[in-house]
Structure 1
Amino acid sequence: MRLAADLVNDPPVTVDALVQRCVEAGLVIDFPVGADDLLGVGAMLGRWCRVVDATGDAERAALVNEMLAAASAYPRMTNHAGDGWHLHYRDDQHSLAGVVEALVSVGTALHLVGRGMHRLGRCALDECDHVYADTSRNGRQRYCSPRCANRDAVRRHRAAHVG
């Protein structure tokens, strides 16, 4: 989820930038990556933004289910990189776009059913359209960052105290 939000909020413009961001997020990329992956991830992020912008739980679930059906497979344990056992929710794909889509769709589903269907959204600051995955303790996140929350709080304070 954080990778998806990061890629939406600051889209990579080159394949190398996409690979670097995925590796920084912990993905093991042991297959060739090309320009089609950059395009594929961009298209997937567009579908994911429909999930972010969904107005109701049923719509959000239906959109996530579409992504899951397209990208994921039965879960299985693997130690393909020799760095510890973990679950894969995808077939043995050799496409970064496919791997990222499986990761994002399963991660989104687990986040929403585990934390709440409302815990995905766009920043409440009028001039910001960044997305966030709410991992707060109370489940009431409304801003993509403390910076946006502070800017809005200052704006509200000033508006309340204007002469």
Structure 2
Amino acid sequence: MHLNPYGEDAVRLALSLVTDPPADDQAMVARCLAYDLVIELPVTKYDREATAEFLAEWLTVIDATVLEERAARLNELLRFASAYPRLTNHADDGWHIHYRDPGQPLASVLRTLISVGTALHLAGRGMHRLGRCAASGCETPFADFSRTGRQAYCSPACGNRDAVRRHRARVRTT
């Protein structure tokens, strides 16, 4: 059984590209391959630049706190990202669904993959499951993949630092 690659992996790839942008074409290829993305065409500087521009737009989805606004921003990204869904076995690794035309440059593939993946993540797990870290001084974006859906920090380290800060503030006031 070949699982649909859209959703969690696409959102994790987007966060990886946002928080640690690849420095060159080889790094971009390596990052995409690490997330099992099949790359059909050579990667160019255009792909990195266009992907960075798209990710800046994608971050506006994360920053929207009103759910209807979040949906509207994501729908705008989806409007330019998707083609009709199609079955493919392009890598001879099993039939699966693509939401893009074949032969697209990497930037276009990432736009579609991340937009559709984000929509599936929000629709499947909850519209509130994107955010910025709640720790003081950290604004790192995160996607909540937790079972409870209550993630507030980008990492356990930020959550722990914030808990220590709150504890020390309580101790000083007593």
For the criterion TM > 0.5, the same-fold answer is yes
Equivalent residue, structure 2, for 1:120: 130
3-state SS in 1 of match to 2:101: coil
Equivalent residue, structure 2, for 1:103: 113
How much does 1:26 deviate? 0.9
Write out aligned runs for 1:76-155 (5 A): 76-155=86-165
Q: Give TM-score scaled by structure 1 length.
A: 0.96
Equivalent residue, structure 1, for 2:83: 73
Write out aligned runs for 1:15-30 (5 A): 15-30=25-40
How much does 1:30 deviate? 2.3
Query: What runs of 5+ residues in structure 1 fail to find an aligned partner?
Result: none
The answer to whether the 8 A contact 1:32-1:94 is kept is: no
Equivalent residue, structure 1, for 2:62: 52
Higher relative contact order (CA 8 A, sep 6+): 2
Determine the C-alpha separation between the residues in 2 that align with 1:40 and 1:138: 35
Q: Which moved more, 1:105-114 or 1:28-37?
A: 28-37
The answer to whether the 8 A contact 1:93-1:99 is kept is: no
3-state SS in 1 of match to 2:87: strand
Residue by residue over 1:81-129, the C-alpha shift from the partner in whole angstroms, topping out at 9 and shown as x without a partner, is 0112221011114200000110000000001111111000011112111
Q: Give TM-score scaled by structure 2 length.
A: 0.91
Query: What runs of 5+ residues in structure 2 fail to find an aligned partner?
Result: 1-10
How much does 1:56 deviate? 0.7
Determine the C-alpha separation between the residues in 1 that align with 2:36 and 2:138: 28
Residue by residue over 1:42-81, the C-alpha shift from the partner in whole angstroms, topping out at 9 and shown as x without a partner, is 0010010000101211111111111111011111111100
The answer to whether the 8 A contact 1:121-1:133 is kept is: yes
> What amino acid is aligned across from residue 157 of structure 2 in structure 1?
R
Deviating beyond 3 angstroms after TM superposition, the runs of 4 or more aligned structure 1 residues are: none
The answer to whether the 8 A contact 1:4-1:104 is kept is: yes
Is residue 31 of structure 1 aligned with residue 41 of structure 2?
yes
Determine the C-alpha separation between the residues in 2 that align with 1:157 and 1:21: 38
How many residues are treated as equivalent by the alignment?
163
The answer to whether the 8 A contact 1:8-1:130 is kept is: no
Determine the C-alpha separation between the residues in 1 that align with 2:103 and 2:149: 35
